[in-house]
Amino acid sequence: MKLAEKGFQVTLTDLTPKLVKVAENKAKELELFNQFNGFHIMDAKDLNLLEDKEFDASLMMGPMYHLQNEQDRDAAVKELYRVTKDEGVVFVCLYVPN
């Protein structure tokens, strides 16, 4: 929501339908709905609804600590790079348990 508040166009994806709906409702509540290009239910390993090189920047804020094997993590990161323009920015948040 913070990026939308700052005027950026945002496309949101999440694996969990309930969380996608929560985000969509929050965007409406905050009158930010028009800042979103879509709210999609997708697996980070397969962003098939998104075009190659579609985004100036891509952020992955959760899947890496949910994906348990290296092959799945690699697939998710490859998808993130696929949908990001060559000169774009990719940010991946990792969680390292204590």
Nearest to 26 by CA among 42, 10, 15: 10
Q: For 23-82, how does the pLDDT look when each residue is reduced to its tens digit (9 = 90+)?
A: 999 999 999 999 999 999 999 999 999 999 999 999 998 888 888 899 999 999 999 999
> Going along the chain, which residue ranges are E strands?
10-14, 36-41, 55-60, 84-92
> Quick one: tokens of 60?
């992955």
If one compares 33 and 98, the residue with the highest pLDDT of the two is 33
> Quick one: tokens of 33?
């709905």
Q: Is the pLDDT of residue 11 over 70?
A: yes
Instruction: Indicate the pTM of the whole model.
Output: 0.88
- Binned at pLDDT 50, 70 and 90, residue 98 comes out as low
CA dihedral 13, 17, 19, 20 (to 10 degrees): 40
CB atoms near residue 76 (< 10 Å): 20
